Every structure is written in structure tokens, then in C-alpha cells.
Amino acid sequence: MRHEEFIGQVQNRARLPGWGDAERASRATLETLGERIPEGLADNLAAQLPHEIGEHLRRTEVYGGAGSGERFDRHGFVERVAIRSGTDEPRAAFLARVVLEVVDDATRGSVTRKVGDSLPADIRALLPVGHTG
């Protein structure tokens, strides 16, 4: 999947008014996901996405650390997405689900199960149905 197709899918599925809104939702969700999952898994997922999209996962990595993501729950995840995307938490949860669904489609689900396995159940619920572990 190309960058333009990824962002177009997010825009269409979330019924966002503009390209910039879809970019912002994608960036907010993937930066937050990159903070939560282990670095190696973030790199693996990023490598399977369009370069511009994958960089959002890598932007928050802290090399030389313990190799695992920060610990926060669904509320913390959604709150971070809301702040980064400039929206309220219910809308941020919806946007995160849409972005993660497009990620699943873009990677044909190949990494989504591993991502889900690395997340607590409450965040895993944001992943597409069938990848909840």
C-alpha cells in the first residue's frame, strides 16, 4: 500500500473532511502505538508500512533502553491520541480504531496479531475484530 492510499483509506473510513485530518489521526495513533509496543515490534511493523507512515512508529523509540514500550492503559492510549490529534477522547478512540484497521489491511494482518499480543486487553480491543488474541 502506498502512502496516498493509506491516508485516503483513513480519510474515507473515518469520514474526515480533509487529507490533513487523516494524516494527523494516523500520526497521533502510530506515535502513541510506537510508545506502547516493544521497539523491535515497532520497527517490524514500520517496515511493512509506507515509509512516511512507518516513521510515525519510529519517531518515539528510545534506543538503548530496556527494549519494551511504556506502560499505560487504554485510557492513557486514547488520551495521548486525543491530545496529538486535537480532538476529544471518544473521537480519538474511533480514529485510533480506523487507523489500526488500515494498518491491519496494509500489512495483511501479518503483524497485527503480534502487536495485539504485546498489548493489554483493554488496548487490544481497539484492534480490528479477529486480532484480539
* pLDDT for the residue numbered 67: 45
* pLDDT for the residue numbered 61: 57
Instruction: Determine how many CB atoms are found less than 10 A away from the CB of residue 121.
Output: 11
* pLDDT for the residue numbered 132: 41
Rounded Cα–Cα distance for residues 33 and 132 (Å): 15
Amino acid at 4: E
Print pLDDT tens along the chain (133 aa). Answer: 899 999 999 999 999 999 999 999 999 999 999 999 998 899 999 999 999 999 999 877 554 444 457 889 999 999 999 999 999 999 999 999 999 999 999 988 778 888 989 999 999 999 986 544 4
Contact 33, 59 (CB under 8 A): no
Q: Which domains does the chain have, with CATH numbers?
A: 3-124 (1.10.490.110)
HSE, CB side, 13 Å, CA atoms: give it for residue 5. 9
